[in-house]
Structure 1
Amino acid sequence: MALRSISGMAIVVIWAFALLQARADVVIREERSPLKVTSTQYEVQIAPDGCLTNLRIGDQEFLAPGVSISRGTYFFAGGPLQLNTVEQVADNVVTASNETAAIRYEFGEKEMTWELTNKSDSSLVFFLVLSRDVQSAFSQAGVAVALPINEQWTKVVVVAGDAQLSINGCDKLWGPWQGPHQICQVSLDPKEEKSLKLSVGKVSSERLSQVFALVPKLTEAKLQLYSPQEHQVFQRTSVSEGTILLSGHTTTNPDSIRVRFKGKSVDGKLPGKWQSVEWIPETRSFSAMMHLPAGGWYSLEIEALKQGEVLAAEKIKALGVGEVFVGAGQSNSTNSGEFRTQQKTGMVASFSGTAWQIADDPQPGVADKSQGGSFWPAFGDAMYERFGVPIGVAATGYGGTSVNQWQPDGDLFPWMMTRIYQLGPLGFRALLWHQGESDVEMHSEEYYEKLRHVILSSRAQAGWYIPWFVAQASYHNPEKPSFDTVRNAQAKLWQQGIALEGPDTDTLIGDRRDLGGAGIHFSPKGLFEHGQIWADLVGNYVDEILGTVTRSELSATAWPEADVLFHRDPNWLGGDDAYSLDLGDGRVAWFFGDSFVAPTVPGERRGTTMVRNSIGIQSGYDPTSAKFKAYWQEFEGKPRSFIADEAEEFFWPGGSLVVDGKIIMLLMRARNANKKMAFETTGWGAVLIDNIKRPPDQWQIRKLDCPQNRFDVLVGSATLIKDSEHLVAFSVASESHDVYLVRWRLVDVAEGDLSSPEWWTGSTSDWVAQDKLVELPEPVFESGQTEFTVHFSREMNRYVQVQFSGFPLTPIALRTAPSLTGPWTALEEFYSPEETIPGSSKIDDSERMLYAAKAHPELASEGLALTYCSNTYDINHLFDGLDLYFPRFLQVDLPETKEKK
């Protein structure tokens, strides 16, 4: 018994000694800012942003930081995430985290375990970007392969020199990216945790011989360009400019790198001057993001120099900055046309995933490897003729496929996403989807939900808002030219704002189809027209985004017939603010700021009481004929604000919305001040209103606790909008009028709980809790106003924001965006009220002001109904007449506007 006890003790002691010895083999120390982790077998560095940037085994570096956006290893959501809370929590453990993601690095002598956590409500991806020296790998079956590859492998051994790195737990290997680089990807669903297990070692002599046979030793060029490639097209970021990635490597030892571009842009000839490029001696590489005018083709010359002597040089004959598009779907999005076609302008290029080439059929990069004709050359030619910049396309489709095969857990979705990742965030203008012929027997709602899932998943995994165009495609043959099941689903995606409207290719019949008009695919004539109708719709969208289209089709007119609405209650003699909310069943609620109520002399403001807010109910959607009744509170027989004042502070309405049968309304808190505007804001408030099917004098109002912010941002002073599972508030900085997005979960809002606001920080998946904000985050757009509206326009298939362009006497303007987070177009003026004309009133111009321009899409009108407030600093004039301080109506003709009611 004693011997057993001693033996057990010995085992424990030996185990403890072994554990201490293993930990002693791993040393973590801080050198300047990065953490350096060393063992007897490897060395890694962890940067202050939590990214593991370097992994060296022997004398071989396995990661590639500094190439484009690469951090070596990193979570990705529209760009690398910064996990700025970095801690060493044990002798051999380092953690890094932020509000969105976290990673736990555990280091052993020969192995590492990385625990990845997605803390967000959106999908995330994690990337390992492998070094250019990692040129071969061994599959799960032990077979040697040359890199880059595109495989759904969970385990792989990658090789550089005589060192190897085993990676277990990846979801996908894909490449090339930015030249020769292989990517290992891990995809994480919302709140998901995954592990990566890595081990290091030496490659056996037997395996080395396989590698040498696979990757023969080549004489490396003295200077290699990874980016740009010949005929590469970079997506422009504005009408006149774009950003290109310049990256490469040299075997020489220069002291500087220089580059110059020659050619003709949309605005004229390039200057052709030499520019310096950052040189990284440790890796003998260079990488830079460079601004170039839109246009091309351009030529590029790059030189490595030492003391002015050229050691190595390289040239690219053709590269451009223009418009880039990704294609996906089934056969009519690939090379299944009757005959191959060619582009005619010489300005259209295709991307295969590895290289760029002139876009003559067959298009490279399609998943089905089809070899026939496509609409892409005709589309590219038409787009070039319209915009005068090079056009890039990347087709990824597969013939005969159902939407089922494009789901995120299938094979085709990752193929498409690989191209999206290769082009990079905002690296293309839009994705064009042409599919549906295989799903005509699927229930319409099922198709809608499945394609919606594909679209939303692509945006979540890419980390940025990818505009999708969805075509109407269901044609089979002349006897069965269209099917409403799939067509209705495709149209619903447009109507719900999930996708943009693509062309109706079911209309391309007769000799536009192959086999003499009997086939399902296109003849050369059909391919040409297919490309043209895509270019018409997509071109209009590009014009809209860039603001290159003149708004001659956008006009507004005064609507005095509707102005009478607010004069129908003799006990209410005017108010400003004027937000509206559709309560359903023909009832529209109006929320006003300072209001003149309860006149003692009929029709005269002198003798009225000014309450700080009031409510109006419009019965009927047509303001020219609807009834209107105003409401406020009474206390001891005297009028008071509908939302009660609090001592010296009062409330003006902000955005409102119906949530779970109740009205949630955010409010601006204010108080009187000794200055011309006579008030100053003090924060924000909110109320939850129940019993809203009854008249407002029976509404049940509950004031809510509202966490104030230290940034002087009026949360919800503008519009509230539902977005998926959240309520989003457009919120405005008091001084700059920059606009921010703040959100809450709808389930919390329905209970009146606003205690946990999150702020958008500039990325589609990056929302941060208010109590974690260190500084004011990224505005969604600048130069807003305290009050404005945002609504989704089905006619324009975009969000539309309406405001005055300035203060006090300026035109009304709008900006648009495909999503709440943008990108938003520049503010564009479209209507100047008559009050903006100098001397148009007997009141001095310096005493007049216009403000509170707002849209009311729920109202029946020949276009979009707008209101604005015309007011004066001259209080005597305001009391002496009724010509001011009632909301004034406009009707706006939007492109393709339809009657709403």
Structure 2
Amino acid sequence: MNRLRQVRFFVILVAALRFGAPIANATPPAATTAFDCVRWPEAEALFHRDPRWRGADGAASIDLGEGRVLWLFGDTFIAAADSPRRAGSTFLRNSVAIQTGYDPTTATFQPYFQTAEEAPRDFFSAAEGKWVWPGHGAMVDGRLLLFFMRAAPQEAWPKFVIEGWEARLVENPTAPPTAWRWRDLDLPPLASTGDVNLAASVLQDTHFVYAFGTNRSPKHSGIVLRWDREDVLEGDLTAPSFWNTTAHEWQSVPAPSDDGLTTLFTEAQEEYSVHYAARLKQFLQVQTLGFPLGKIAVRTADALTSSWSAPRVVHTPVETHWAEGTFVYSAKAHPEQQTDGLAMTYCTNTKNDLQVFSNESYYYPRFLKLRLKSATTDRDAPETP
């Protein structure tokens, strides 16, 4: 995304966030836009350019500007330098990468992780015995805001429990990631509520930063909180606001409870994306629908505070027909990627540990392209939502 496109997109996004459509009725509007979603295997070469990086999940992206894209990954496999294969590799809870160039079919891909005693280690550290999974973030006045899920092990499936969320602010995001300087941000009591994950997607306008997430109780609801930009830059996230659908205004979050938080939509996954689609003049939410064999679904809304459409399945991944134990999850959009549509990814995994190591088809993110269809002929139109 060049500088002119970035400025134009930001102006449109500011208008949409601040002056969106009036509050709609509680019933979700009917989805009318026709989409076409296809595989984009050529773009998947991006994730195979470094021989030591042997796959990961999560796969959120942030446009850092000047042709650089930050990728945030969860569980990651890093192979030994002399043995570029997943078998025998080191398992990390997170890693990052810098993509240089906005076309993933030709861009470079440089992964980053920490090392200790010459062995790979998580890029983002956590308290002993626990870990963080990166969510999403945004560049805010030259600094990089990042949100994370805090996790800990447990005996029962899925072998982990989400304990809350946290945020960090990188002071020098133009430097190589291994030279980053970051600080932990002050958080509200809500951050320690295990039912709330606030790491899915981040947007901003000239006054506020908006973070989307999930409230697991009672309906696995999609939620959004916001902060003044000045508070974010000062490292203070202790006083977020939420949209009260009854009073039709932003109000302080009741601490420390998650009771009363606005439900934007139900059936929200832990990982999803939200961005403003300028051609649609709507916000677009992307996620998998269902688990373990998720299908790729989208929702739309005229404004963050208006009703969201019901989820609409736009793609059924071929992996949903793979061997028993396979699961498909973590679908997201990547609007900074250059293509004749909207780039999206999803992730795959399996309960079969032997398959994870022997079948490297698992665990590499898969690329898709979402395109608008012609309103008159139902043919694919090379238009980006």
- The two structures have a TM-score, normalised by structure 1, of 0.38
In 2, are the aligned partners of 1:592 and 1:615 still within 8 Å (CA)?
yes
Query: Which residue of structure 2 lines up, in the alignment, with residue 696 of structure 1?
Result: 177
* CA positional deviation for 1:554: 0.7
Amino acid in structure 1 at the alignment position of 2:140: V
In 1, are the aligned partners of 2:14 and 2:204 still within 8 Å (CA)?
no
The superposition leaves residues 856-888 of structure 1 with CA deviations (integer Å, 9 ceiling, x where unpaired) of: 000001100000001111111111131110110
Match of 1:733 among 211, 215, 222: 215
| Structural mapping, 1:758-837, within 5 Å | 758-762=241-245, 763-771=247-255, 775-837=259-321
* Cα distance change, pair 500–640 in 1 and its aligned pair in 2 (3 A): closer
- Take 1:807 and 1:748, find their aligned partners in 2: how far apart are those partners? 37
In 2, are the aligned partners of 1:493 and 1:499 still within 8 Å (CA)?
no
* CA positional deviation for 1:898: 6.6
Once structures 1 and 2 are overlaid, which stretch shifts more, 689-698 or 564-573?
689-698
Say which SS state the counterpart of residue 804 (structure 1) adopts: strand
Task: Tell me whether 1:570 sits opposite 2:51 in the alignment.
Answer: yes
Match of 2:80 among 586, 599, 602: 599
* Cα distance change, pair 633–764 in 1 and its aligned pair in 2 (3 A): farther
The superposition leaves residues 782-823 of structure 1 with CA deviations (integer Å, 9 ceiling, x where unpaired) of: 111100000000010000000011111132111110111221
* CA positional deviation for 1:656: 0.5
* CA positional deviation for 1:707: 2.5
In 1, are the aligned partners of 2:98 and 2:109 still within 8 Å (CA)?
yes
- Take 2:144 and 2:61, find their aligned partners in 1: how far apart are those partners? 12
* Cα distance change, pair 494–620 in 1 and its aligned pair in 2 (3 A): closer
- Take 1:769 and 1:558, find their aligned partners in 2: how far apart are those partners? 41
- Take 1:807 and 1:567, find their aligned partners in 2: how far apart are those partners? 27
More helix by share: 1
- Take 2:277 and 2:51, find their aligned partners in 1: how far apart are those partners? 35
In 1, are the aligned partners of 2:226 and 2:242 still within 8 Å (CA)?
yes
In 2, are the aligned partners of 1:601 and 1:607 still within 8 Å (CA)?
no
- Take 2:342 and 2:310, find their aligned partners in 1: how far apart are those partners? 20
* CA positional deviation for 1:607: 1.9
* CA positional deviation for 1:773: 5.9
Say which SS state the counterpart of residue 819 (structure 1) adopts: coil
Match of 1:752 among 231, 235, 253: 235
In 2, are the aligned partners of 1:600 and 1:608 still within 8 Å (CA)?
no
* Cα distance change, pair 580–774 in 1 and its aligned pair in 2 (3 A): closer
- Take 2:91 and 2:241, find their aligned partners in 1: how far apart are those partners? 36
Query: Which residue of structure 2 lines up, in the alignment, with residue 652 of structure 1?
Result: 133
Aligned pair count reads 359
- Take 2:169 and 2:320, find their aligned partners in 1: how far apart are those partners? 38
Task: Tell me whether 1:587 sits opposite 2:68 in the alignment.
Answer: yes
In 2, are the aligned partners of 1:577 and 1:852 still within 8 Å (CA)?
yes
- Take 1:836 and 1:572, find their aligned partners in 2: how far apart are those partners? 25
| Structural mapping, 1:257-336, within 5 Å | none
The superposition leaves residues 398-422 of structure 1 with CA deviations (integer Å, 9 ceiling, x where unpaired) of: xxxxxxxxxxxxxxxxxxxxxxxxx
Match of 1:850 among 299, 303, 328: 328
In 1, are the aligned partners of 2:115 and 2:121 still within 8 Å (CA)?
yes
- Take 1:774 and 1:574, find their aligned partners in 2: how far apart are those partners? 35
* CA positional deviation for 1:834: 1.0
* Cα distance change, pair 748–812 in 1 and its aligned pair in 2 (3 A): same
* Cα distance change, pair 703–562 in 1 and its aligned pair in 2 (3 A): same
* Cα distance change, pair 773–608 in 1 and its aligned pair in 2 (3 A): closer
| Structural mapping, 1:113-128, within 5 Å | none
* Cα distance change, pair 563–734 in 1 and its aligned pair in 2 (3 A): same
Query: Which residue of structure 2 lines up, in the alignment, with residue 718 of structure 1?
Result: 200
Query: Which residue of structure 1 lines up, in the alignment, with residue 104 of structure 2?
Result: 623
Say which SS state the counterpart of residue 776 (structure 1) adopts: coil
Say which SS state the counterpart of residue 771 (structure 1) adopts: coil
Task: Tell me whether 1:561 sits opposite 2:45 in the alignment.
Answer: no
* CA positional deviation for 1:648: 1.5
Match of 1:641 among 122, 125, 141: 122
Match of 1:609 among 85, 90, 106: 90
* Cα distance change, pair 494–581 in 1 and its aligned pair in 2 (3 A): closer
Pair member with larger Rg: 1
In 1, are the aligned partners of 2:113 and 2:122 still within 8 Å (CA)?
yes
| Structural mapping, 1:208-287, within 5 Å | none
* CA positional deviation for 1:645: 2.3
- Take 1:647 and 1:888, find their aligned partners in 2: how far apart are those partners? 32
* Cα distance change, pair 765–827 in 1 and its aligned pair in 2 (3 A): same
In 2, are the aligned partners of 1:795 and 1:895 still within 8 Å (CA)?
no
In 1, are the aligned partners of 2:12 and 2:278 still within 8 Å (CA)?
no
Query: Which residue of structure 1 lines up, in the alignment, with residue 226 of structure 2?
Result: 743
- Take 1:682 and 1:768, find their aligned partners in 2: how far apart are those partners? 22
- The two structures have a TM-score, normalised by structure 2, of 0.87
* CA positional deviation for 1:604: 1.6
- Take 1:494 and 1:882, find their aligned partners in 2: how far apart are those partners? 39
Task: Tell me whether 1:859 sits opposite 2:337 in the alignment.
Answer: yes
- Take 1:773 and 1:834, find their aligned partners in 2: how far apart are those partners? 41
Amino acid in structure 2 at the alignment position of 1:580: S
In 1, are the aligned partners of 2:31 and 2:300 still within 8 Å (CA)?
no
Match of 2:353 among 867, 875, 880: 875
- Take 2:111 and 2:51, find their aligned partners in 1: how far apart are those partners? 9
Amino acid in structure 2 at the alignment position of 1:579: A
- Take 1:858 and 1:872, find their aligned partners in 2: how far apart are those partners? 30
In 2, are the aligned partners of 1:655 and 1:719 still within 8 Å (CA)?
yes
* CA positional deviation for 1:548: 6.0
Say which SS state the counterpart of residue 796 (structure 1) adopts: coil
Once structures 1 and 2 are overlaid, which stretch shifts more, 745-754 or 577-586?
745-754
Query: Which residue of structure 2 lines up, in the alignment, with residue 484 of structure 1?
Result: none
Query: Which residue of structure 2 lines up, in the alignment, with residue 304 of structure 1?
Result: none
In 2, are the aligned partners of 1:790 and 1:801 still within 8 Å (CA)?
yes
Query: Which residue of structure 2 lines up, in the alignment, with residue 476 of structure 1?
Result: none
- Take 1:774 and 1:783, find their aligned partners in 2: how far apart are those partners? 17
- Take 1:654 and 1:617, find their aligned partners in 2: how far apart are those partners? 16
| Structural mapping, 1:511-530, within 5 Å | none
* CA positional deviation for 1:774: 8.1
The superposition leaves residues 103-157 of structure 1 with CA deviations (integer Å, 9 ceiling, x where unpaired) of: xxxxxxxxxxxxxxxxxxxxxxxxxxxxxxxxxxxxxxxxxxxxxxxxxxxxxxx
In 2, are the aligned partners of 1:613 and 1:652 still within 8 Å (CA)?
yes
Amino acid in structure 1 at the alignment position of 2:222: V
Gapped regions of structure 2 (runs ≥ 5): 1-7, 22-27, 375-380
* CA positional deviation for 1:727: 0.9
Say which SS state the counterpart of residue 717 (structure 1) adopts: strand
Amino acid in structure 2 at the alignment position of 1:675: A
| Structure number with higher relative contact order (C-alpha < 8 Å, ≥ 6 residues apart) | 2
In 1, are the aligned partners of 2:164 and 2:193 still within 8 Å (CA)?
no
The superposition leaves residues 613-661 of structure 1 with CA deviations (integer Å, 9 ceiling, x where unpaired) of: 1001000000001000100111232211111121111000112011111
| Structural mapping, 1:379-458, within 5 Å | none
RMSD of Structure 2 on Structure 1 (CA): 2.5
In 1, are the aligned partners of 2:79 and 2:86 still within 8 Å (CA)?
no
In 1, are the aligned partners of 2:14 and 2:206 still within 8 Å (CA)?
no
Gapped regions of structure 1 (runs ≥ 5): 1-488, 502-544
The superposition leaves residues 480-516 of structure 1 with CA deviations (integer Å, 9 ceiling, x where unpaired) of: xxxxxxxxx9xx8799537899xxxxxxxxxxxxxxx
- Take 1:772 and 1:634, find their aligned partners in 2: how far apart are those partners? 37
Say which SS state the counterpart of residue 151 (structure 2) adopts: strand
